[in-house]
């Protein structure tokens, strides 16, 4: 594990202490999960194989500060683990509306395919807004030579039913940036901007989802064919 990686993780871990009072009350929770395919942004990151996840989330209800960490196992020819670390702030606007702003760091320290253009880490800034049952987010890469300038935009809605089932719908658009490393790959059609749609039904700790993209691209693993996933995730407090 590189010294640069350890320095980044230490900085992100210490950053919340700059705006969270030690005496303030806080909420600490954890989660564990298992899914038939890990599908961030509408495409599989686990090569349509089982993916385990585990994480912790710390938030301060007094000032809205939060920090968290989550790990996902990723499949493929050379399986490895993705570590997500995030820090940010939640601000209420009204009883129904609020927004989050923060920084998200992806780490792949054991990715054997890492190169200068596909490094073992990447950072994004994000903004999420909520109003009632609806929410929308924007993620923008600010680091890594290949992905710098890439942007992902999504919007979703969730409707709880009286029988305990929650129905959901999510639509997203992923656009790749124009870095020097990305331009020739986009010209060859290796990386293509795409849209995706997903609908879901959640009951207790289980979520059944069906989604598809508007492109068939084996490199980014986008497919027009509907992909069905079943996810179990358990959240608990400490």
Q: Is 112 left (phi over 0), alpha (psi -120 to 50) or beta?
A: alpha
**What's this model's pTM, rounded to 2 decimal places?**
0.86
Burial of 124 (0-12, 13-18, 19+ CB in 10 A): buried
Query: Tokens 């054997």 appear where?
Result: 112
Phi, psi of 98 (to 5 degrees): -160, 170
- Render each residue's pLDDT in the chain as its tens digit; 238 residues: 444 444 444 444 444 444 444 444 569 999 999 999 999 999 999 999 999 999 999 999 999 999 999 999 987 666 789 999 999 999 999 999 999 999 999 998 876 655 554 567 889 999 999 999 999 999 999 987 889 999 999 999 999 999 999 999 999 999 999 998 899 999 999 999 999 999 999 999 999 999 999 999 999 999 999 999 999 999 999 8
Phi, psi of 137 (to 5 degrees): -140, 155
């Amino acid at each position: 594990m590189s010294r640069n990686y350890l320095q980044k993780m230490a900085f992100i871990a210490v950053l919340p202490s700059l705006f969270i009072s030690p005496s303030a009350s806080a909420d600490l929770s954890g989660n564990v999960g298992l899914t038939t395919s890990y599908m961030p942004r509408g495409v599989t990151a686990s090569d349509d194989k089982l993916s385990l996840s585990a994480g912790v989330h710390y938030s301060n209800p007094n000032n809205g500060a939060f920090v968290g960490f989550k790990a996902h196992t990723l499949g493929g020819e050379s399986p490895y683990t993705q570590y997500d670390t995030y820090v940010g702030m939640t601000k209420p606007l009204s009883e129904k509306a609020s927004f989050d702003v923060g920084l998200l760091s992806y780490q792949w320290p054991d990715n054997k395919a890492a190169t200068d253009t596909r490094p073992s880490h990447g950072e994004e800034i994000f903004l999420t807004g909520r109003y009632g049952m609806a929410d929308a987010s924007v993620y923008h890469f600010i680091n890594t030579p290949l992905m710098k300038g890439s942007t992902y935009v999504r919007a979703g809605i969730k409707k709880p039913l009286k029988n305990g089932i929650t129905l959901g719908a999510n639509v997203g658009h992923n656009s790749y940036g124009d870095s020097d490393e990305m331009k020739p790959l986009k010209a060859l059609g290796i990386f293509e901007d795409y849209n995706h749609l997903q609908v879901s039904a959640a009951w207790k700790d289980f979520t059944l989802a069906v989604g598809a993209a508007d492109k068939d691209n084996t490199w980014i693993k986008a497919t027009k064919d509907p992909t069905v996933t079943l996810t179990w995730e358990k959240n608990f407090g400490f």
